[in-house]
Structure formats: structure tokens, C-alpha cells
């Protein structure tokens, strides 16, 4: 027996999809842990690549970091180090191939900002969640992670909380120190992460291409 009529379900779904935003400024207060559990529950319900995962049962894991703990300070430091490594790598690349400057410069600037000022979300939100998905054959873990994160994002929106995807997390999957902290074997899992808290600034909707222009109904 459905709890809501079709119109109501559809309306609520559209409302959540439309009001989802990338929140990049959070209030100090911590949302209740029950909300975080519900958000993780939504992530767990996201589809997974059954063929790639096979009969492995624990193919998806969640790690909740809280502001003010030792583990979040460690994570922040490891991610700053990763950004610093990235700066070195791409600046080296630009020395060899200066014609690539226009392509890489804004990315390098972003990495520099992270290196110098800390990772947005990790250092600014009350909760940071790392999601780990097992790597399978054929590789589909990044796609699965995107589904998990989107489910969590929509649930966060439904709870009137703010969510920031922090995609630098995906670069940390080979970091031995982080994987040791998570007690996961290096090379077996892909990662992504998000910051969650009460939104302080909610940005206006960002623009999208016109749907009709972007859609072709094939003959």
C-alpha cells in the first residue's frame, strides 16, 4: 500500500531534485547523527554493479569523520599533501609543455588553494563521509560511487541539510596512510567523499542547457 498518491510522490520528487545544491559554506552546528545514518542508508540503497561485484557481500563501506576529532585532522593533512603533490606534478608538466597552461592553470590554482588553505568541506563542515566501493571486473566502481553520492545528496536535500561533493577524495584511493586509517587494502577500493552540515549560504540554481535543445527523439 503506497503512503502517498502518485501526484504527491511526483511533486515531492521534483521538488527535491530542483532544490538540490552544492553547499560550500556551512553553519557551525552539527546535524543529528540519526540524519547522517539516514543519509548513509540512502547511499546504501543506490544501485551497484552486480556483475562486477560478483558474490562479494561487503562491496560498499562508509566512513564518517566528525569535526574536532583526530581522524578528520589526519584526513585533512593527507588531502593537503595530495594537493601539494598534484601542484608539483602539474607544474613540472607545464615546464615541459608550456602550451598546456590554459588547460591546466585553473586546476593548479585550485590545488594550490587546497594545499595552502585546506580542503573545502573537510575542514569547514561538521561531518565528512568517505564512501568506498569495491573494484570489480569490468571496472564500474566510479559509476556506482556516483549513484551512491547522488542518493546521499538527494536525501540530504530532503532533510534540509547541505551537501558538498569533494572529488579530490577519489584521488586518495592509493594513499597508503589513508587506506591504513580506513583499514582497507590499497588497490581494492575506489573512494569518493562529501561534506554534510547545515547550509549557511544556499546558492541560486546553476544554469543548464535547454532540455529540448539537448534532446533528440530518434526516428
Instruction: Compute the distance between CA of residue 159 and CA of residue 69 in angstroms, rounded to an integer.
Output: 25
Out of 206, 207, 210, 212, point to the residue binding ligand FMN (CB under 6 A): 206
State the DSSP string of 38-103: HHHHHHHTS---HHHHTT-S--EEEEEEETTSHHHHHHHHHHHHHHHHHHHHHHHHHHH-GGGHHH
Instruction: Compute the distance between CA of residue 167 and CA of residue 185 in angstroms, rounded to an integer.
Output: 20
Task: Give the number of other CB atoms < 10 A from CB of residue 123.
Answer: 18
Task: Give the number of other CB atoms < 10 A from CB of residue 23.
Answer: 24
Q: Which three cell numbers stand for residue 49?
A: 554493479
Residue 54 or 203 with smaller CB distance to ligand FMN: 203
Question: CB of residue 143 vs ligand FMN: minimum separation in angstroms?
Answer: 11
Residue 83 interacts with ligand FMN (CB under 6 A): yes or no: no
Residue 53 or 122 with smaller CB distance to ligand FMN: 122
Residue 5 or 210 with smaller CB distance to ligand FMN: 210
Question: CB of residue 149 vs ligand FMN: minimum separation in angstroms?
Answer: 9
Residues 153-192 as x/- pattern, contact with ligand FMN by CB under 6 A: -----------xxxxx------------------------
Residue 134 or 168 with smaller CB distance to ligand FMN: 168
CA 75 centroid distance within chain: 15
Out of 10, 19, 22, 160, point to the residue binding ligand FMN (CB under 6 A): 22
- The residues that touch ligand FMN, with contacts defined as CB under 6 A, are 21-22, 24, 164-168, 203, 206
Amino acid at each position: 500500500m503506497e503512503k502517498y498518491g502518485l501526484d504527491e510522490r511526483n511533486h515531492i520528487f521534483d521538488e527535491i531534485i530542483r532544490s538540490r545544491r552544492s553547499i560550500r559554506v556551512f553553519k557551525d552546528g552539527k546535524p543529528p547523527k540519526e540524519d547522517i545514518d539516514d543519509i548513509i542508508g540512502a547511499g546504501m540503497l543506490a544501485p551497484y554493479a552486480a556483475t562486477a561485484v560478483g558474490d562479494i557481500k561487503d562491496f560498499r563501506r562508509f566512513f564518517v569523520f566528525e569535526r574536532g576529532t583526530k581522524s578528520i585532522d589526519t584526513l585533512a593533512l593527507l588531502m593537503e599533501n595530495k594537493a601539494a603533490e598534484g601542484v608539483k606534478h602539474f607544474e613540472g608538466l607545464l615546464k615541459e609543455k608550456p602550451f598546456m597552461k590554459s588547460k591546466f592553470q585553473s586546476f593548479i590554482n585550485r590545488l594550490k588553494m587546497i594545499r595552502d588553505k585546506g580542503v573545502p568541506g573537510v575542514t569547514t563542515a561538521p561531518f565528512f563521509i568517505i564512501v568506498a566501493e569495491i573494484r570489480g571486473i569490468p571496472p564500474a566502481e566510479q559509476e556506482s560511487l556516483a549513484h551512491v553520492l547522488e542518493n546521499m545528496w538527494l536525501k540530504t536535500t530532503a532533510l534540509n541539510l547541505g551537501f558538498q561533493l569533494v572529488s579530490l577524495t577519489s584521488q586518495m584511493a592509493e594513499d597508503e596512510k589513508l587506506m591504513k586509517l580506513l583499514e582497507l587494502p590499497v588497490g581494492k577500493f575506489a573512494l569518493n567523499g562529501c561534506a554534510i552540515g547545515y547550509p549557511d549560504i544556499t546558492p541560486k540554481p546553476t544554469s543548464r542547457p535547454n532540455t529540448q535543445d539537448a534532446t533528440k527523439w530518434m526516428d
